[in-house]
Structure 1
């Protein structure tokens, strides 16, 4: 007989040690098709985001607040994708998609931390663009390195504390069964629906965090772009207006993509078990971290120039005899060691 939802909590004890994830699909043929697709997406996500971080790091022309924040966004997307994709990929090849209670809580904590930090970072980047366009003469004095680091610390700190409170409150609840999560990762609406205790406190905490961090960040972004629009309208030259708009276009696209898909996923809690919900979650969790660096790279002249410089330098280095001599010597030394 299934345990009643009205059962009293037994201290801090929970009888559920493992959860079962239903995954994206229960059709084996479809899972085998989806595996190489999502593996390719994950590899592209890793390469693009890591490559963008390295490119910004090694090119002195990109050592500005805007690219400093962009490299932080790429790092968040790396961690965000890595908290979901490896587990999802392994589940596509497994018959039993089990996950321990602790691993489930950890997955949600990391994903939620990165998601909330990204909201704060997108708001910070909007503020940076407002200062650059609204007060260009004071920009260097306002966006000093120390302030940039503090803004990044606030973004990560806010995400960490908010996620910690959500995770502790929700996974501290009493779980006595059932233990089947109708999703491909440990998302809190699906997990808390399995709780045998009253989920009201957890639901209220999640709601307050969503309002204060998620919608609060969105409000900062909207206000920043309101002031940016007013500043652009004051510019007399068409060229100046076009340049100011181009500096914001990539960020606007990233904000629209992130918030648009997130709101589509979480504004309809009643449909959290539907196929549509899973598809939107895939786009939000898997595709957005891959698309963010592409959005910023394809329209950005500075990044294109930096990439050309790195490509030319690498090609010049690989073309020299010294490189190939050192490479051949290394191979020979390796062969000698193997023989010995």
Structure 2
């Protein structure tokens, strides 16, 4: 089979992770071109990864290279327009989080995806580590019983200098603070395990950093399957940690990591009367794959070859984006919010901050 022709837009730090991950997937994919407005950065990137075609803009890349898949690795405020141009040209898109700055922008991309027959996927790599795959399979099989309680905490640290970068900490260029730009990874994994959410009550604060967005949010989330979750997103926590806990009827499952996990980062505590069944299923499940970009990219490439939806699909990504919007809507209206209240009539559909935050 001919290798899938991939291209990268934006050649900064995250693009190097994308390029290294693609290189690790062998001859089934070929990096044919790259785009960056910074000529020196583009040149250094293409030299390092043996990229044959260098383009100053996306239009040139799409016209001359006609890539099968475009990786968008630029700051969040550019994601919508770049992804839209790719979809309109018939190229599939894999975009870093967040895929857009609002539900309105994201729905525009979904419409373009349907109209032009190209696929839109978001980089949510934590779904693809074997620990998460194993947990989802055990939940689906019924061996864990009903989900009852969950904890989803992204307690990270970024100093003021981090937010002094021009596009960070701004609603118009980043779409939000840690809820949108950092905790979204853990929140996506939470939704991947527990499914649709039904209500959120939240607070958001400007606790310590000087910026337009929040630096801290806390939320209570109810799920259709009956579980309740505590969600915390912080940029103020000196001892950094990403922590998820799922309490089921028959076991507690915990994940402690920072920016990515392996099998050893999971811990399962079964109820004594179900220990043999639960631990048997746990040890016989999928294993050996970390929650890195490469794991998701492998599945995206497989989907393109087989003609199946590329993970994480726009439908799944939208559920996570809607939860982010729900956190902001609840925090700024100081009321509980349901998904159906985030319709096109809501100011939080057009902008994550709605009509403006009430700090």
TM-score (norm 2): 0.24
Which has the higher relative contact order, 1 or 2, with Cα contacts under 8 A spaced 6 or more apart?
1
Using the size of structure 1 for normalisation, the TM-score is 0.25
Specify which structure has the higher proportion of strand. 2
Structure 1 or 2, whichever has the larger Rg, is 1
